[in-house]
Amino acid sequence: MTFSWPIRVYYEDTDSGGVVYYANYLKYLERARTEYLRHLGFEQDQLINTHNILFAVRHVQLDYHKPARFNELLEVRSDVIECKKASLLFEQRVYRVDDDALLCSGQVKIACLLADTF
């Protein structure tokens, strides 16, 4: 199941050339993963408080294909492609809505940790 989440590019997301600063794509991917989990019924604060579980990024691999610019509407598409005992592997892609151009793609591995001991 592919989960999609809209993102608007704000001025603060861009560099002096009006292009999304590369590190901000990580923020977009994080928001989409959080909303994906929320959509599935998992609130991260409740996981910590009730089950002493938190998620941490273990590994990121990204490719940048085309630039996004100020005020564009983007869509982050996320899929869980691997689910193990203590980790999830997400495949995530960022598209520009107007022309469905692929802007950024990659995989993010999330580790499941005990909140009190990491």
d(CA 9, CA 43): 25
Catalytic-residue membership of 79 = no
What one-character-per-residue DSSP string does 21-54 give?
A: -TTHHHHHHHHHHHHHHHHTT--HHHHHHHH-EE
d(CA 22, CA 44): 26
Choosing from 13, 15, 79, 98, the catalytic residue is: 15
Helix (H, G, I), strand (E, B) or coil at 103: strand
Q: Which of 21, 1, 9 is nearest to 74 (CA)?
A: 9
> Any idea which residues carry the catalytic annotation?
15
